[in-house]
Amino acid sequence: MKRVLADHNVPAPLLRLLKAVDIKMASSQGWQKLMNGKLLAVAEEAGFEVLLSGDKTIKDELLIGGRKIGMVCMSDNHWPAVAEYGGEISKAIEKVKPGQILSVFCGQFSRGKTKRKPAP
């Protein structure tokens, strides 16, 4: 079971959908003021294996090659948009390796309309 830290911008209801992970919110660790690179470094130091983020630009801002922690970045962080993507996010968390960033399309929120998965 991977230890996962959810960034400040991950919707709390999503945590209930993620299976087979030990997941904590950054705020529950007392890290509510830490951002991006500092949060990543502290999470890695604390033994977390994955940082889950809904920050669309974080993957372009941080270099994580050679680190002991991986990142899963969601395409959106609004609950109406990500609500049906728990399975995809869980798979990415299980798949990500240290020093790697995986992106997961989780819909796209816009006022009045949420773009979701296409119907099968």
Residue 58: give the domain boundaries.
2-115
pLDDT at 119 over 50: no
Q: pLDDT tens digits for 39-49?
A: 999 999 999 99
Model-level pTM greater than 0.85? yes
The residue ranking higher by pLDDT, 56 or 9, is 9
Pair 105, 77: CB distance under 8 Å: no
Residue 82 located in a structural domain: yes
Residue 106 located in a structural domain: yes
Please compute the mean of the pLDDT values over residues 7-20 and round it to a whole number: 89
- For residue 32, the domain's CATH number is 3.40.50
- Number of domains comprising the chain: 1
Residue 120 located in a structural domain: no
Confidence of residue 111 (pLDDT cuts 50, 70, 90): low
Return the pLDDT at 114. 52
Residue 33 located in a structural domain: yes
Alpha carbon dihedral 13, 17, 21, 25, in 10-degree steps, equals -10
Residue 88 located in a structural domain: yes
Residue 21 located in a structural domain: yes
Q: Which residues pair with 115 in a beta bridge?
A: 108
Residue 102 located in a structural domain: yes
d(CA 101, CA 115): 24
Pair 10, 89: CB distance under 8 Å: no
Residue 58 located in a structural domain: yes
pLDDT at 108 over 50: yes
